[in-house]
Amino acid sequence: MSQSTSGKADMKLFWACFIALVATSFVFGVRANSIGLLQDGFNLSEAQKGNINGAGMWPFAISIIFFSLVIDWIGYKTVALFAIACHLVSLVLTLNATGYESFYWSTLLVAVANGTVESFINPVVATVFSKEKAKWLNILHAGWPAGLALGALFCALFPDTRLFFDAVWKFRFALSFIPVVAYALLILPCKFPVNERVAAGVSYRDMLREVGAVGFFIIGFLMYFAIMQMAGKEASLQSSLIAGALVGLLAGIYTLSAGNWLFILVLIIIGPLATTELGTDGWMPELLKLNGPFASAEGNVTFAAWVFVYVSTIMTILRFYAGPIVHRFSPVGLLVLGSAVAIVGLVFLSKSVGWTIVAASTVYAFGKTFLWSTTLGLTSEQFPKGGALTLNGVSAVGVLFLGVLGSPFIGYQQDKDMHARLASGHTALLAQVEGAAKPSIFGSTPGLDQEKIKALSPAATHELNAVQADSKRGAFTNIAILPAFMLVCYLLMLLYFRTKGGYKPVALGHGEEVKPGF
């Protein structure tokens, strides 16, 4: 990697940001590969499991939006120290969790810490490497799959065992202290730069104008869902629309702007993108454990963990060498290509069993690798006046969508599909394992009682596993609809840039006129 645009101090700061991102995804990888063990140990329904995955995502958005609004006032170092403190406290709480409720809240605090990290690392790297933003943001976000791979690797080395339930899952999460302490030691001596927007003299109000009334409507709509979920209450569509409209109206009055239309399109796309990548990451181990090449569930859990490591390693390597690829295709062209390949990979996964899952996962990995990181690169290059807010706002909306709608909906659909399959052809088995219906934001969801499942005869267990295998594999087909929508949007975006003479980054000059604003 060339250091032509950066001094030694800049590279130290970059690697501190990189390891901070590794820490955020490490615990995500551990949780994704331990959720099955926790489901059995804590008797969780699929919907509760989805809520835990959601709690690991949407508080991320609250913290990233909040700090993006104030980070230029309180300083990047202050935000970084807060992230370190949250990570340490959340891990202590996680290790002391005793069931759904306590694990839910400890997961929520982890997400706050992760969002705080994201709020400072993206604008810092975009500022330090202002001439090659798409390249270096892709390299930075190689830290995400790297952390996932490491977390999943440790889970594979210490596989699920019900005999030593507490020892296994606690040891896995305790390992998260290693990357957290590492990035804390790297961050402490670093000096942070002045944000590109601030240095160019772009006012705070002009930053908000890039998001505008429509952008804040989307943020407010999703944020209301998140806050209601945090309070343990259900949010209706009507109340969420009213909350979003109020936020959008206030933003419109203050900024006198509906928002940059291209940025609004990016916000609309990022929700499906987040569910395609992160939602699938969170559910893949459980979706694959009944379709792997091994006869035992335990063997397939380990197999799923190794597939997770394999996919994440591919993503890490490709993102490290993103520079020439971005230069060859342009950010928009790369997004078109990535979404198309992701569709093929997900459909391939839905048809795969045994060792063919490895080939399907390879295709899927190539498809999703550049979607998130290249979207951040495109945002930083096209909306520099938006500063930390537009850059981090994209991540926030993606994670909000995934946390309050995407991930819980996957769980809700899994519960409904499983119940429907059992009711249609396995009624006797359903009577043996049916549990009480449990609430979700999409309505009451049928559930299976994990204790009843443990008491099944070997023949009934085999029958249940066969039904679950079909149900879980079919989830990939449903997810493939999302990158199909993204592909249409990216093709329209590609046509737009071609009418403008091709894709070109927007440059901010220093000393721009400062307009009055808050």
Predicted pLDDT at 511: 42
Please name the amino acid found at residue 169: W
- Rounded Cα distance between 17 and 340, Å, is 31
Residue 207, helix vs strand vs coil: helix
Distances (CA, A) of 516 to 59, 74, 204, 212, 255: 32, 20, 8, 16, 11
With a CB cutoff of 8 Å and minimum separation 6, the contacts of 134 are 322, 326, 331, 374, 377, 378, 380, 381, 505
**505 part of a folded domain:** no
State the virtual CA torsion across 198, 202, 206, 210 in degrees, nearest 10.
Answer: -70
Instruction: Give the pTM.
Output: 0.83
**110 part of a folded domain:** yes
CATH number, domain containing residue 316: 1.20.1250.20
**Tokens encoding 335:** 């997004």
**36 part of a folded domain:** yes
Predicted pLDDT at 162: 57
**88 part of a folded domain:** yes
Burial class (CB in 10 A: 0-12, 13-18, 19+), 127: buried
- Rounded Cα distance between 203 and 415, Å, is 49
Burial class (CB in 10 A: 0-12, 13-18, 19+), 436: exposed
Q: Give me the number of domains the chain comprises.
A: 1
- C-beta separation of 308 from 33 below 8 A: yes
Please name the amino acid found at residue 417: D
Mean pLDDT by 10 residues, the chain (518 residues): 57 94 89 77 75 76 90 91 94 86 88 93 91 91 91 77 67 91 93 85 92 95 82 75 95 95 95 85 68 66 78 91 85 95 91 86 92 94 92 90 78 80 84 77 75 81 81 81 95 94 81 36
Q: Nearest-CA neighbor of 447 among 99, 50, 46, 101?
A: 46
CB atoms within 10 A of CB 317: 14
**335 part of a folded domain:** yes
- Rounded Cα distance between 32 and 277, Å, is 13
Strands 434-438 and 445-448: antiparallel
**506 part of a folded domain:** no
- Rounded Cα distance between 213 and 120, Å, is 24
Predicted pLDDT at 473: 78
- Rounded Cα distance between 215 and 209, Å, is 9
**508 part of a folded domain:** no
65-91: b (≥16 Cβ within 10 Å) or e? bbbbbebbeeebeebbebbbebbeebb
**148 part of a folded domain:** yes
Cα atoms in the Cβ-side hemisphere of radius 13 Å centred on 340: 9
Predicted pLDDT at 354: 81
| Sequence-separated contacts (24+) of 336-340 with Cβ below 8 Å | 336/487, 336/490, 336/491, 336/494, 338/367, 338/368, 338/369, 338/370, 338/371, 338/374, 339/367, 339/371, 339/483, 339/484, 339/486, 339/487, 339/490, 340/367, 340/483, 340/487
Please name the amino acid found at residue 125: V
Question: Tokens 């495109």, residue?
Answer: 378
- Supply the range of the domain harboring residue 193: 8-499
Predicted pLDDT at 283: 66
